[in-house]
C-alpha cells in the first residue's frame, strides 16, 4: 500500500522514531471471524519490528482454538510478531481478557495499544492514520475512529441500527470531540496511550462496559480524547433481534452502574473544571431522556383518552402548565448545550408522541401535515415503530442497572455470523414483555373505539402490530 509521504514523514520526524504498538484482538468463540481478523491485523502498515499482534483468546471450543493457533502460526512464519494468549478461566470477561494479555507483555516497552473486536475490518493504514495524533499531542489518552457497517441493509433491523449508529458516529461523537467535551471510547476501533490507560487504573474487570468506565476515569484525571471521523472501521451489526437485545441490554444497563459508581468522583475531582464535569454528567442524560420519551409514548394513548373531550378545568390546566413549563425549561437550558443529540432525539422520537395527539385534536385541514410527513418519508414510520419497542427494553435494562440486578453483572456475548451468513442461528422464544405491551395497546384500541376516537384507535392498532412483530422478531428478522 502506497502511503502519502506527508503521513510517513510525521513518524520519521518523531524523536524516537516509530513507537512500539501493541494490537489486541479479544475473542470468545468467534467462529465467523477468528481467522480473518488476525490476517487483517498483520496486514496493517507499520514497521514489523515495532508491532506486536496479540490474540487474546477466551474461546471454549477446541475447534476454534485450533483454527486460531493455525492462523497465528502462519502469520508468525510469515515474519509477523503474532502471538496468542489464553487463561484458565474467563474472569472479568473482555476487560479481564485484555488485562491478561497486557500482563503477558508488561516487560515490553510498548507505548500504544489498538483494540479490535473480531468482526472489525481495520484499514491497512489504520496505525499511520491514528498514532501520530497521540505522538504529537501528549494530552490525548485515546483516539477513536468511526464505525461503518458491512450489513447495514441486510434487513429492517440492521437498517434501523445503521440509522441510529450513524447518527452517533457522524454527529454526536464528532460534535463532542470538536467541542472538546466528554465522549466515550467505543470499546474497539481505537488506540489508547499506555500511560493514560495504566494511570487511570486499567480495564475494570467488574464492569460490562469497560470502555465507558475507563473513559470516565481517564477524563476526570484531565486526559483529552479525539475522534477521527475520516478513519472508517467496517464491522457487523447484530442481524437478529435476540443478538441485538443482548447487546442493548449491556449497552444500557452498564452505563447506569458506572453512573452510580462515578457520579460523585466526577463532581469532586479537582483535575477538571466545571464545564468538564457538566459535559461528563450530561453524557448520561441521553439515557434518561430516551427513557422519559419512551415512558411518555407508552402513556400517550391513555393521556389522549383522559383529555378528550377537552374540558377547561383544573386537571387539564395543570397538565398544560406543567407540560409546557418543563418543555420550555428543557429547550432553553438543556437543549442548546448539546443540540446535535437533542435535535436528533426530538426529530426522531417526538413524532411517535405527537402523532396520536395530532390525529385526535387537529382540525381536518391540518391533518394533512402529519400524513404528508409519512408520505414524504415512508421509512420514518418503520423507524418510529421500532423505537418504542426497543425503547421500553432500554428502560428495562437501565432500571436493572440502577437496582444492581444479577443480570447486569454477567456478560452475554453478542452473536456474530459473518456477512450474509446465518449458520448456527438459534431462535429465541417470543418475548413476554413485548406481548404484555401489545395487550396494553390492544386495550387502548378498544378504549379509543369506545370513545369514538377512531384516529387514535388506528395509531394504537399499529402499535399492537409493532409490539407483536417485536415479540416474534427472531422469526421475522
Nearest to 53 by CA among 132, 110, 138: 110
CB 415 within 8 A of CB 243: yes
What is the distance between the alpha carbons of residues 204 and 254, in angstroms, rounded to a whole number? 12
- Helix residue ranges per DSSP H, 269-362: 274-282, 285-307, 314-329, 339-361
58 classed as catalytic: yes
What is the distance between the alpha carbons of residues 401 and 284, in angstroms, rounded to a whole number? 13
Which SS3 state, helix, strand or coil, does residue 251 take?
helix
Residue of 58, 117, 119, 154 marked active site: 58
CB 291 within 8 A of CB 394: yes
- Helix residue ranges per DSSP H, 105-184: 126-136, 156-167, 173-178
344 φ, ψ (degrees, to nearest 5): -60, -50
Q: Which residues pair with 22 in a beta bridge?
A: 52, 113
| Start-to-end CA span in the chain (Å) | 39
45 φ, ψ (degrees, to nearest 5): -75, 120
* Helix (H), strand (E) at residue 27: strand 21-27
Which SS3 state, helix, strand or coil, does residue 124 take?
coil
What the block records as the C-alpha cell of 330 is 428543557
* Helix (H), strand (E) at residue 57: strand 51-57
Strands 112-115 and 82-85: unpaired
119 classed as catalytic: no
What is the distance between the alpha carbons of residues 119 and 14, in angstroms, rounded to a whole number? 33
What is the distance between the alpha carbons of residues 290 and 342, in angstroms, rounded to a whole number? 10
Residue of 117, 119, 211, 474 marked active site: 211
| Four-point Cα dihedral 310, 311, 313, 314, nearest 10 | -20
Nearest to 322 by CA among 303, 305, 309, 341: 303
HSE-CB at 110 with a 13 A cutoff on CA atoms is 28
What is the distance between the alpha carbons of residues 39 and 48, in angstroms, rounded to a whole number? 14
Largest CA distance in the chain: 82
Report which DSSP code applies to 351: H
Report which DSSP code applies to 431: P
> So which residues are the catalytic ones?
58, 211
Amino acid at each position: 500500500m502506497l502511503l502519502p509521504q506527508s503521513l510517513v514523514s510525521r513518524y520519521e520526524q518523531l524523536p524516537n522514531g516509530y513507537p512500539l504498538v501493541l494490537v489486541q484482538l479479544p475473542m470468545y468463540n468467534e467462529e465467523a471471524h477468528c481467522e480473518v481478523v488476525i490476517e487483517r491485523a498483520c496486514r496493517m502498515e507499520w514497521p514489523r519490528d515495532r508491532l506486536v499482534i496479540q490474540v487474546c483468546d477466551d474461546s471454549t471450543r477446541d475447534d476454534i482454538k485450533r483454527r486460531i493457533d493455525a492462523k497465528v502460526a502462519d502469520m508468525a512464519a510469515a515474519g509477523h510478531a503474532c502471538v496468542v494468549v489464553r487463561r484458565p478461566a474467563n474472569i472479568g470477561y473482555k476487560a479481564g481478557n485484555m488485562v491478561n494479555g497486557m500482563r503477558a507483555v508488561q516487560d515490553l516497552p510498548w507505548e500504544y495499544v489498538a483494540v479490535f473486536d473480531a468482526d472489525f475490518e481495520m484499514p491497512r493504514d489504520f496505525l499511520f492514520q491514528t498514532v501520530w495524533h497521540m505522538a504529537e499531542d501528549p494530552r490525548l489518552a485515546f483516539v477513536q475512529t468511526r464505525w461503518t457497517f458491512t450489513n447495514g441493509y441486510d434487513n429492517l433491523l440492521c437498517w434501523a441500527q445503521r440509522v441510529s449508529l450513524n447518527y452517533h458516529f457522524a454527529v454526536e461523537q464528532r460534535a463532542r470531540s470538536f467541542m472538546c467535551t466528554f465522549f466515550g471510547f467505543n470499546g474497539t476501533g481505537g488506540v489508547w496511550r499506555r500511560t493514560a490507560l495504566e494511570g487511570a487504573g486499567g480495564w475494570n474487570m467488574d464492569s460490562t462496559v469497560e470502555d465507558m468506565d475507563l473513559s470516565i476515569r481517564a477524563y476526570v484525571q484531565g486526559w483529552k480524547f479525539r475522534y477521527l471521523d475520516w478513519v472508517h472501521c467496517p464491522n457487523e451489526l447484530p442481524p437478529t433481534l435476540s443478538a441485538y437485545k443482548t447487546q442493548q441490554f449491556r449497552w444500557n444497563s452498564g452505563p447506569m452502574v458506572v453512573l452510580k459508581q462515578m457520579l460523585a468522583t466526577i463532581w469532586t475531582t479537582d483535575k477538571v473544571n466545571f464545564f468538564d464535569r457538566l459535559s461528563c454528567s450530561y453524557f448520561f442524560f441521553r439515557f434518561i431522556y430516551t427513557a422519559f420519551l419512551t415512558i411518555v409514548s407508552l402513556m400517550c394513548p391513555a393521556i389522549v383518552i383522559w383529555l378528550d373531550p377537552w374540558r377547561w378545568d383544573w386537571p387539564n390546566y395543570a397538565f398544560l402548565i406543567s407540560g409546557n413549563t418543563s418543555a420550555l425549561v428543557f429547550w432553553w437550558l438543556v437543549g442548546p448545550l448539546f443540540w446535535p443529540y437533542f435535535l436528533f432525539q426530538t426529530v426522531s422520537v417526538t413524532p411517535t408522541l405527537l402523532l396520536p395527539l395530532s390525529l385526535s385534536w387537529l382540525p381536518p385541514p391540518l391533518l394533512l401535515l402529519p400524513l404528508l410527513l409519512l408520505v414524504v418519508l415512508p421509512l420514518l414510520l418503520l423507524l418510529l415503530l421500532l423505537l418504542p419497542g426497543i425503547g421500553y427494553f432500554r428502560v428495562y435494562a437501565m432500571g436493572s442497572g440502577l437496582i444492581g440486578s444479577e443480570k447486569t453483572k454477567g456478560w452475554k456475548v453478542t452473536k456474530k455470523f459473518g456477512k450474509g451468513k446465518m449458520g448456527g442461528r438459534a431462535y429465541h422464544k417470543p418475548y413476554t414483555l413485548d406481548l404484555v405491551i401489545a395487550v396494553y395497546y390492544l386495550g387502548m384500541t378498544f378504549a379509543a373505539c369506545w370513545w369514538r376516537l377512531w384516529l387514535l384507535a388506528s395509531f394504537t392498532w399499529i402499535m399492537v402490530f409493532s409490539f407483536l412483530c417485536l415479540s416474534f422478531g427472531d422469526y421475522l428478522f
